[in-house]
């Protein structure tokens, strides 16, 4: 236990391995266990020269214990009378965000998905970009713009955060007094008010230096106010709700893209049906395959799903990056589609050749390569291999490419028959096309008598 920082550590060779959230002095933090029907509380007590924690449970029949096992886990266990065994209720560290400093200084860990992801706080950027691209986040982030140390600086509110390590307590202050103390010191990087009741804060905490071991949406999280240059807070009327607004914009963008792709797909499907009524156009359609943006299973057989929209989005994304239209490739001898050309360049390690020459020297290269990677995942031959639209948004929004898988060969990447392996998988009963004789034409020559 750290008597200065009001927190509990698990050490590995004298180095922090896991850290609890910061406790408020002489106040309890309660966690409810719905499945077992009880609540457990932990209280950090400061009594003169004594500093200790106490634990309590809401039900007298509950027996709990804390245990550290050789593998390094700190476990909370519940005694099960029926089986005479200890049931593990919680163990830490368990996932990436549990490990101390997983995202480095000014990096915040997000465990909302199936894997732990790191992002720099607003107003910060990766310290070593190449490390973040490979998924090594320990180098953390640095400020985009240094504090001006005047009234133009401000604070960004980050809700439900696991508070960073190395805090300093100023004791009981009002919320405005706590902010004033941090604003008046240019070395102060953040502040937090624990257990605010009205304007009164039981504990005012300040941070000086790097903010480390941050976690989003923590179960015992508190509001953290990060000290930023005024320009990072939005000088044109943008408020401290920047993060929330950004999420809203992403949601609107995804909905707009989905609706647009759906309309394109419906229009294409109706056009396709109209053309298939005319036998003379079927050969042309088979040669042109999907006609642009439609997935093969939808264009050929009318099978529609979310993955059909994802396919279309992948084509659009490649068109944006390369500044080339998919339809420009229909009459090329080597490639039938834009994504077929993109796939060949990707395989040969020449993904940079796909980038529009007008932005090739000025763009953020790793971001564009990430877009190409995601686009090729979207246009893979089998629908099951393609990501969902929510996966696409997550991959594009994440700063790292380490967790983005490598794509497989896209549909119609070369000139090949409609009876590809993908079509055979979709229609197991599909037989090998029959051979037909060439069209013949006879003529009767009339002779007068």
| Domain of residue 258, CATH code | 1.10.510.10
Q: Which of 12-21, 66-75, 294-303 is the least confident region?
A: 294-303
Higher-pLDDT residue of 77, 271: 77
> Per residue in 237-269, pLDDT tens?
333 444 444 445 555 555 666 666 566 656 555
> Per residue in 82-102, pLDDT tens?
888 988 888 888 888 899 999
Specify the number of domains making up the chain. Answer: 3
**Domain boundary residue among 225, 240, 255?**
240
pLDDT value, residue 435: 42
In a domain, 44, yes or no: yes
Judge if 313 and 183 occupy the same domain: no
| Count of CB atoms situated within 10 Å of the CB of 294 | 24
In a domain, 219, yes or no: yes
**Is-above-0.85 flag for pTM?**
no
**Beta strand pairing call for 141-143 and 214-215:** unpaired
> Per residue in 394-440, pLDDT tens?
788 766 565 678 888 887 765 444 444 444 444 344 344 444 444 44
* Percent of the residues in the chain that have a pLDDT greater than 90, as a whole number: 16
- CA-wise closest residue to 365 among 129, 140, 142, 131: 129
pLDDT value, residue 246: 47
Could you tell me if residue 323 is left (phi over 0), alpha (psi between -120 and 50 degrees) or otherwise beta? Answer: left
In a domain, 295, yes or no: yes
In a domain, 34, yes or no: yes
Judge if 167 and 303 occupy the same domain: no
**Domain boundary residue among 56, 74, 94?**
94
Q: How confident is the model at residue 4 (pLDDT cuts 50, 70, 90)?
A: low
pLDDT value, residue 425: 46
- CA-wise closest residue to 355 among 364, 403, 335, 392: 364
pLDDT value, residue 253: 56
Q: Are 161 and 218 in contact (CB under 8 A)?
A: yes
- What DSSP assignment string belongs to 159-183? EEEBPPSSEEE--SEEHHHHHHHHH
> Per residue in 17-42, pLDDT tens?
888 888 766 666 666 666 667 677 77
Judge if 267 and 198 occupy the same domain: no
285: pLDDT strictly greater than 90:
no
**Spatial distance between the Cα atoms of 72 and 377, rounded to a whole number of angstroms:** 38
Chain length of the chain: 449
**Spatial distance between the Cα atoms of 162 and 94, rounded to a whole number of angstroms:** 16
pLDDT value, residue 289: 44
The full 3-state SS of 304-318, as one line of letters, equals CCHHHHHHHHHHHHH
Judge if 286 and 269 occupy the same domain: yes
In a domain, 138, yes or no: yes
105: pLDDT strictly greater than 70:
yes
Judge if 21 and 53 occupy the same domain: yes
**Domain boundary residue among 71, 94, 117?**
94
**Spatial distance between the Cα atoms of 331 and 337, rounded to a whole number of angstroms:** 9
In terms of residue numbers, what domain contains 138? 105-240
Two structure tokens written together for 403: 């967790």
In a domain, 442, yes or no: no
Judge if 249 and 236 occupy the same domain: no
57: pLDDT strictly greater than 70:
yes
Phi, psi of 349 (to 5 degrees): 75, 25
Q: Are 298 and 269 in contact (CB under 8 A)?
A: yes
Q: What's the mean per-residue pLDDT of the chain? A: 75
Judge if 310 and 284 occupy the same domain: yes
> Per residue in 111-158, pLDDT tens?
776 666 899 999 999 999 988 888 889 999 999 999 988 778 999 999
Judge if 412 and 263 occupy the same domain: yes
Q: How far is CA 312 from the centre of its chain?
A: 21
In a domain, 99, yes or no: no
Judge if 288 and 154 occupy the same domain: no
In a domain, 89, yes or no: yes
271: pLDDT strictly greater than 70:
no
Who contacts 109 (Cβ-Cβ below 8 Å, separation ≥6)?
Answer: 96, 97, 102, 103, 116, 117, 118, 214, 215, 216
Judge if 270 and 386 occupy the same domain: yes
Judge if 167 and 271 occupy the same domain: no
> Per residue in 337-361, pLDDT tens?
787 888 888 888 888 888 888 888 8
CA distances from 419 to 12, 149, 286, 315, 380 (A): 59, 68, 11, 22, 16
Higher-pLDDT residue of 443, 142: 142
Judge if 230 and 254 occupy the same domain: no
């Amino acid at each position: 236990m750290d008597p200065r920082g009001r927190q509990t550590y698990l050490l590995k060779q004298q180095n922090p391995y896991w850290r609890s959230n910061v406790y408020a002095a002489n106040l309890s933090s309660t966690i409810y266990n719905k499945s077992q029907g009880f609540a457990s509380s932990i209280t950090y007590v400061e009594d003169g020269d004594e500093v200790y924690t106490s634990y309590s449970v809401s039900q007298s029949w509950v027996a709990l214990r804390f245990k550290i096992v050789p593998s390094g886990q700190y476990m909370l266990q519940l005694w099960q009378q029926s089986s005479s065994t200890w049931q593990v209720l919680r163990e830490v560290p368990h996932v990436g965000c549990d490990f101390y400093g997983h995202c480095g200084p000014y990096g915040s860990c997000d465990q909302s998905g199936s894997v732990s992801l790191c992002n720099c706080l607003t107003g910060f950027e990766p310290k070593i970009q190449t490390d973040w691209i490979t998924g090594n986040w320990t180098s953390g982030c640095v400020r985009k713009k240094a504090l001006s140390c005047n009234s133009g600086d401000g604070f960004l509110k980050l809700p439900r955060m696991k508070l960073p390590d190395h805090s300093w307590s100023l004791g009981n202050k009002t919320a405005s007094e706590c902010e004033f103390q941090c604003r008046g010191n240019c070395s102060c990087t953040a502040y937090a008010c624990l257990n605010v009741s009205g304007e009164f804060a039981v504990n005012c905490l300040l941070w000086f230096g790097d903010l480390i071991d941050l976690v989003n949406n923590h179960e015992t999280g508190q509001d953290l106010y990060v000290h930023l240059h005024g320009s990072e807070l939005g000088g044109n009327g943008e408020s401290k709700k920047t993060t929330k607004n950004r999420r809203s914009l992403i949601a609107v963008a995804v909905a707009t893209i989905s609706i647009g792709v759906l309309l394109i797909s419906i229009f294409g499907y109706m056009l396709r049906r109209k053309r298939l009524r005319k036998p003379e156009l079927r050969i042309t359609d088979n040669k042109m395959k999907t006609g642009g943006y439609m997935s093969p299973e939808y264009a050929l057989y009318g099978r529609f799903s979310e993955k059909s929209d994802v396919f279309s989005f992948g084509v659009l994304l490649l068109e944006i990056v390369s500044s080339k239209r998919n339809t420009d490739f229909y009459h090329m001898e080597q490639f039938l589609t834009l994504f077929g050309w993109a796939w060949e360049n990707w395989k040969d390690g020449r993904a940079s050749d796909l980038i529009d020459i007008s932005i090739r020297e000025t763009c953020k290269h790793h971001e564009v390569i990430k877009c190409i990677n995601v686009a090729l995942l979207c246009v893979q031959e089998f629908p099951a291999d393609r990501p969902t639209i929510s996966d696409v948004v997550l991959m594009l929004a994440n700063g790292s490419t380490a967790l983005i898988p490598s794509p497989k060969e896209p549909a119609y990447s070369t000139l090949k028959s409609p009876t590809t392996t993908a079509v055979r998988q979709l229609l197991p009963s599909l037989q090998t096309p029959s051979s037909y004789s060439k069209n013949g034409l006879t003529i009767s020559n009339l002779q007068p008598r």
